[in-house]
């Protein structure tokens, strides 16, 4: 039952860097990222090209590159 919890209050309160990664072909990906970013300006986002629902399978190199980049910033 934890997959449908409202996390808006938590996202607004977190004062750490957060990284959200989505796929280029995912439905309304930019709108979703924009909504999260509006809740907390500390959220950094990235979009993986040439992928839809399984970016870790469809484009693992780009996912690896973003994770590496984000971890180097932390």
How far, in Å, CA of 60 to CA of 65, rounded? 9
Query: Encoding tokens for residue 45?
Result: 């986002």
Query: Encoding tokens for residue 18?
Result: 């957060």
**pLDDT at position 74:** 62
Strands (DSSP E) contained in the chain are 18-23, 43-48
Beta bridge partners of 47: 22
Cβ contact 24:48 at 8 Å: yes
How far, in Å, CA of 65 to CA of 61, rounded? 6
How does pLDDT run across 40-54, given as a tens digit for each residue?
Answer: 988 999 999 999 989
Q: pTM to 2 decimals?
A: 0.75
């Amino acid at each position: 039952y934890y997959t449908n919890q409202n996390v808006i209050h938590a996202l607004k309160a977190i004062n750490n860097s957060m990284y959200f990664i989505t796929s280029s072909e995912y439905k309304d990906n930019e709108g979703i990222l924009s909504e999260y970013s509006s809740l907390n300006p500390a959220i950094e986002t990235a979009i993986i090209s040439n992928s839809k629902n399984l970016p870790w399978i469809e484009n693992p190199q780009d996912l690896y590159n973003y994770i590496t980049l984000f971890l180097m910033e932390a």
